[in-house]
Amino acid sequence: MPLTLTCLDCAALNRVPAEKLSAGPKCGVCGAKLTDGKVRALNPKTLAKATKNDTLPLLVDFWAPWCGPCRQMAPQFQQAALALAPKARLAKIDTQDHSAVSQKFGIRGIPLLILFHKGREVARLSGARPRAEIEAFVRQHSPVSV
């Protein structure tokens, strides 16, 4: 059964056969890799599209550049993204630049990680976390085997 993945670079929807996830599928529009384990910075439009349509778990880091714990966690988040690829994708959104996102999701403090799957929020984890805790959080709360 094909998976639906939003390109986190150009927001195009892509259908990818599940057995091809490990082969490094690319976006049919812009050619960006879809499951390479790189954390992508999202805008509100791409976030909305990905959280609504993606059939792979998507973990989003809600952060801001002035937040010390957010900056401290960034390398750990990137390492977790590499470890969880291609079964889950990790992205981030700057709550300073996109304050409406904070209101939409009821964010009271950052960093905040929200796991999405097939159009719904699955779980939240607040505070800066090490790589192992981020990975365990995704594996524990993901509706699919990660």
Annotated catalytic residue, options 7, 27, 30, 70: 70
Q: Give me the phi and psi of 85, to 5 degrees please.
A: -70, 145
CB 3 within 8 A of CB 16: yes
CA dihedral for 34, 36, 42, 47, sign (positive or negative):
positive
In the set 7, 10, 30, 67, the catalytic residue is: 67
As given in the structure block, the two tokens for residue 8 are 């986190």
Query: Based on C-alpha coordinates, what's the Rg of the chain?
Result: 14
d(CA 21, CA 75): 24
Respond yes or no: is residue 70 known to be catalytic.
yes
> Is 67 marked active-site?
yes
Angle CA(12)–CA(13)–CA(16) in degrees, nearest 5?
130
- Residue 66's Cα: distance from chain center in Å? 21
Residues tagged active-site: 67, 70
